[in-house]
Amino acid sequence: MNLHELTIHEAHDLLKKREISSVELTTAILDRIGQIDEKVDALLTVTDELAMVQAQKADELFKTGEVTPLTGIPAIIKDNMCTRGTRTTCSSKMLENFVPPYNATAVEKLKLQGIVMMGKSNMDEFGMGSSTENSAFYPTRNPWDRDRVPGGSSGGSAVSVASDETIFALGSDTGGSIRQPSGFCSVVGLKPTYGRVSRFGLVAFASSLEQIGPITKDVTDAALVLNAIAGHDEKDSTTVPHPVPDYTQSLIPDVKGLRLGIPREYFVEGMEEGVKQTIETAISKLEELGATVEETSLPSSKYALSVYYIIAPSEASANLARYNGVKYGFSFQEADSMWDAMEKTRQYGFGPEVKRRIMLGTYALSAGYYDAYYLKAQKVRTLIRQEFDQTFEKFDALITPTSPTVPFKIGEKMEDPMQMYLADVCTLPINIAGIPGICVPAGFVDGLPVGMQILAKSFAEETLLRIAYAYEQTTDWHKQNPPI
> Per-residue confidence at 416, pLDDT binned at 50, 70, 90?
confident
The catalytic residue among 22, 78, 154, 186 is 78
> Using an 8 Å Cβ cutoff, are 186 and 50 in contact?
no
CA distance 350 to 361: 15
With b for 16 or more beta-carbon neighbours within 10 A and e for fewer, the 96-127 pattern comes to bebebeebbbbbbbbbebbbbbbbbbbbbbbb
- Using the predicted structure, report yes or no on whether residue 473 has a pLDDT greater than 80: yes
> Is there a catalytic annotation at residue 250?
no
The CB density around residue 338, as the number of other CB atoms within 10 Å, is 11
Segments making up each domain of the chain, as ranges? 3-258+395-479
> Is there a catalytic annotation at residue 111?
no
Superfamily of domain 3-258+395-479: Amidase signature (AS) domain (3.90.1300.10)
- Using the predicted structure, report yes or no on whether residue 1 has a pLDDT greater than 80: no
The catalytic residue among 160, 177, 301, 458 is 177
CA distance 76 to 170: 7
Sheet arrangement for strand 43-46? 43-46, 116-121, 74-78, 168-173, 211-216, 188-191, 437-445, 448-455, 397-401, 259-263, 292-296
> Is there a catalytic annotation at residue 300?
no
The catalytic residue among 153, 163, 198, 300 is 153
Check residue 15 and give its pLDDT: 97
At 4-33, the pLDDT tens digits run: 999 999 999 999 999 999 999 999 999 999
Q: Which residues contact 178 (CB under 8 A, 6 or more apart)?
A: 154, 157, 171, 172, 189, 190, 191, 213, 215, 439
CA distance 436 to 194: 7
- Using the predicted structure, report yes or no on whether residue 153 has a pLDDT greater than 90: yes
